[in-house]
Chains A and B, each alone.
Chain A
Amino acid sequence: MSLDKETVKKVARLARIRLTDAEVEKLGPQLSNIINFVEQLAEVDTDNVEPLANVADINLELREDVVNDGNCVDKVLANAPEKTQGYFVVPKVVE
């Protein structure tokens, strides 16, 4: 399977990655290669096989409903490029 340019651009846009036309030319074949590699899995016959969620025989652990985290606004905001009065500040995103 070979990805066309439009698909490469769409995937990039969904991932919020800006690509130049030259990059689309270069990355398209690389992405196609990756997909072709993974598609080898399709050769395995999986009819009547239940999807496997994990190889270890364990159940999902649940936690009790107690408040034991949070209250660390300084840590949460530590990497924010811009902040004020405890808020993250981002470019305006309203419609």
Chain B
Amino acid sequence: MPQMIKGDTGDWEIVIGMEIHAQVIARSKLFSGAATEFGAAPNSQVSLVDAAMPGMLPVLNKKCVEQAVRTGLGLNSKINTRSVFARKNYFYPDLPQGYQISQFEDPIVGKGKIEIDLPDGSVKEIGITRLHLEQDAGKSIHDQSPTKSFVDLNRSGCALMEIVSEPDIRGPEEAVAYLSKIRMILRYLGTCDGNMDEGSMRADVNISVRKPGDEYGTRAEIKNVNSLKAVQQAIDFEARRQVEIIEEGGKVNQETRLWDPNKMETRSMRSKEEAHDYRYFPDPDLLPLEFSSQWVEEIKQTLPELPDEKKHRFMDEYGLSLYDASVLIAERSRADFFETVAKDGGDAKLSANWVINELLGILNKNEKALSDSPISAEQLGGLIKLIVDNTISGKIAKDVFAEMFASGKDAEKIVEEKGLKQVTDTGAIEAVIDEVLAENPDNVEAYRGGKDKLFGFFVGQVMKKSQGKANPALVNEILKKKL
């Protein structure tokens, strides 16, 4: 459902296209052999190529090309077996070359599309315009001195993929869903770690507003939108700002604006305007990039099952709801964890419930990641197996689960040590029921006189006497007979 903005003159539709910059997972840089690891000492991972010393020549990293192709395949996009690197010219202290090597007219990946999952349970298709490879810039630090900026070139020359969407996104909810899905796909593919805190994934958001059915309005490009929350807030703010301008009779400027997360507003970056004259031209240091479709086919063979395929399989194969399937596929490791639990436990739906509601719940409460879970997938599967084969009841299982989380012990061991095995011996249950009935003659009388509600009271008494170990189904059955 597109989210509209209510203005004085009626509803306005928000039209959004996104440009996502994703740092490519590779050991070395796009055009040099310097390391790419995050957090190294300043300028320690800089070669003379990255520092743009005169005479240095770029040599393209094969792995980065492969990662871009992989990502293109994961985005269901056309792979261009011939692409061209171009220079994008602008000046900034953290860009030592005075130009960024990027791709302009002939990108490595062309048109494609992905599915996004919306909070109301619906699915929408978003078009991908292109993906191209380019160099990252260095990093400027402005808060160390009142009059100077410090420059670290460690990030300079690291490979980036810029993923451009069609203007198919309508509102903040869809924008967040789109960014989340791209992040998920990249992480599944192992082509970008998707870590927005460390800046390995960054988004620019193009926003315009229009009356439904009208032509596209003039758009503003919002930079520095670096978390899912910021995407939501920046779009909310910017769309409202544009509606106000138009309704007051003004015109929206086509310009670059910066999102300020502290002031919760976007503001014009005037200095960027002139720089938009990038004077692209083919980089004379690099020949066109060409590879065979045979190689693309080989890469295709190594793709993992992608989030949407997995989601559909979980729904078909295990009968899970769209919601449960979406939660489980959010991380590849989470989906794998669930599948192990389901295999060992023998009941997929029950396993999904336990993973989502119990395990993820308690991990979240303890601020732990799934990888740090004291209960392994095999152990949780073991617990579910005990429920499935009636060794313990679901209620007892919750106590066992808490004990497992605290001690890391196997469910079977805990059940044995504490004598929690469910009583399924009808003789034993009958004996307990007889006791309860003998102790409560008045209630038995009243029940037989028509007070049906007392049935729950008897069940409660029997369960209490058996310390929760009596099989509830059998208790119900035998009680009914005896009463």
The answer to whether A73 and B43 have CB atoms under 8 Å apart is yes
Residues of B near A54 (CB, < 8 A) are 287
- CA A40 to CA B269, docked complex, whole Å: 40
The answer to whether B48 and A66 have CB atoms under 8 Å apart is no
Chain A interfacial residues counted at CB < 8 A: 37
Q: Which residue of A lies closest to B151 (CB)?
A: A88
- CA A21 to CA B64, docked complex, whole Å: 48
Residues of A near B483 (CB, < 8 A) are none
Q: Which of A63, A65, A90, A91 has the most CB of B within 10 A?
A: A65
Residues of A within 8 A of B (CB): 13-14, 16, 53-54, 58-73, 75-77, 82, 84-95
Q: Which of B49, B51, B91, B92 has the most CB of A within 10 A?
A: B51
Question: With A53-B288, A62-B62, A73-B43 as given contacts, are A67 and B148 in contact (CB-CB < 8 Å)?
Answer: no
Q: Which residue of A lies closest to B84 (CB)?
A: A53
Question: With A66-B27, A92-B142 as given contacts, are A58 and B287 in contact (CB-CB < 8 Å)?
Answer: yes
Does B471 count as interface, using CB distance less than 8 angstroms? no
The answer to whether A63 and B34 have CB atoms under 8 Å apart is no
The answer to whether A69 and B32 have CB atoms under 8 Å apart is yes
Residues of B near A91 (CB, < 8 A) are 147-149
The answer to whether A95 and B258 have CB atoms under 8 Å apart is yes
B contact patch SS: loop
State how many angstroms separate the Cβ of B87 from the closest Cβ of chain A.
13
State how many angstroms separate the Cβ of A7 from the closest Cβ of chain B.
12
The answer to whether B288 and A60 have CB atoms under 8 Å apart is yes
Residues of B within 8 A of A (CB): 26-28, 32-35, 41-51, 59-65, 84, 89, 91-93, 140-142, 145-153, 258, 269, 271, 274, 277, 279, 282, 286-290
The answer to whether B269 and A87 have CB atoms under 8 Å apart is no
- CA A71 to CA B92, docked complex, whole Å: 24
State how many angstroms separate the Cβ of A20 from the closest Cβ of chain B.
20
Contact among A60, A69, A87 for B60, CB-based, below 8 A: A60
| Apart from the given pairs A14-B277, A67-B34, 15 other A-B contacts in the complex at a CB distance below 8 Å | A59-B287, A67-B27, A67-B28, A69-B47, A69-B48, A71-B34, A87-B151, A88-B153, A89-B150, A91-B149, A92-B145, A92-B148, A93-B92, A93-B93, A95-B258
Q: Which residue of B lies closest to A59 (CB)?
A: B290
Residues of B near A87 (CB, < 8 A) are 42-43, 141, 150-152
State how many angstroms separate the Cβ of A78 from the closest Cβ of chain B.
10
Contact among B26, B93, B269 for A90, CB-based, below 8 A: B93
Residues of B near A53 (CB, < 8 A) are 84, 282, 287-288
State how many angstroms separate the Cβ of A10 from the closest Cβ of chain B.
8
Question: With A63-B33, A67-B35 as given contacts, are A72 and B290 in contact (CB-CB < 8 Å)?
Answer: no
List 10 A-B pairs, Cβ < 8 Å: A60-B290, A62-B59, A63-B33, A66-B27, A70-B35, A77-B43, A86-B43, A87-B150, A94-B142, A95-B258
- CA A4 to CA B71, docked complex, whole Å: 47
Question: With A70-B44, A92-B149 as given contacts, are A63 and B287 in contact (CB-CB < 8 Å)?
Answer: no
Question: With A76-B153, A89-B150 as given contacts, are A70 and B34 in contact (CB-CB < 8 Å)?
Answer: yes
A contact patch SS: loop
Question: With A68-B33, A70-B34 as given contacts, are A95 and B271 in contact (CB-CB < 8 Å)?
Answer: yes
- CA A58 to CA B287, docked complex, whole Å: 9
Residues of A near B150 (CB, < 8 A) are 84, 87-90
Residues of B near A76 (CB, < 8 A) are 43, 46, 48, 51, 153
**Which 10 A-B pairs have CB atoms at the shortest separation, nearest pair first?**
A70-B34, A65-B63, A69-B33, A69-B47, A87-B150, A86-B42, A62-B62, A88-B151, A60-B287, A94-B142
The answer to whether B60 and A75 have CB atoms under 8 Å apart is no
Contact among B33, B91, B140, B274 for A67, CB-based, below 8 A: B33
Residues of A near B140 (CB, < 8 A) are 90, 93-94
State how many angstroms separate the Cβ of B4 from the closest Cβ of chain A.
33
State how many angstroms separate the Cβ of A54 from the closest Cβ of chain B.
6
Residues of A near B279 (CB, < 8 A) are 14
Residues of A near B146 (CB, < 8 A) are 92
State how many angstroms separate the Cβ of A13 from the closest Cβ of chain B.
7
- CA A68 to CA B84, docked complex, whole Å: 26
Residues of A near B28 (CB, < 8 A) are 65-69
Question: With A67-B28, A73-B46, A90-B149 as given contacts, are A61 and B59 in contact (CB-CB < 8 Å)?
Answer: yes
The answer to whether B61 and A71 have CB atoms under 8 Å apart is no
- CA A68 to CA B33, docked complex, whole Å: 5
State how many angstroms separate the Cβ of B143 from the closest Cβ of chain A.
9
The answer to whether A73 and B44 have CB atoms under 8 Å apart is yes
Question: With A61-B59, A89-B150, A90-B149 as given contacts, are A70 and B258 in contact (CB-CB < 8 Å)?
Answer: no
Contact among B34, B61, B91, B271 for A16, CB-based, below 8 A: B91
Residues of A near B27 (CB, < 8 A) are 65-67
The answer to whether A92 and B147 have CB atoms under 8 Å apart is yes
- CA A69 to CA B47, docked complex, whole Å: 6
The answer to whether A65 and B93 have CB atoms under 8 Å apart is no
State how many angstroms separate the Cβ of A91 from the closest Cβ of chain B.
7
- CA A62 to CA B69, docked complex, whole Å: 15
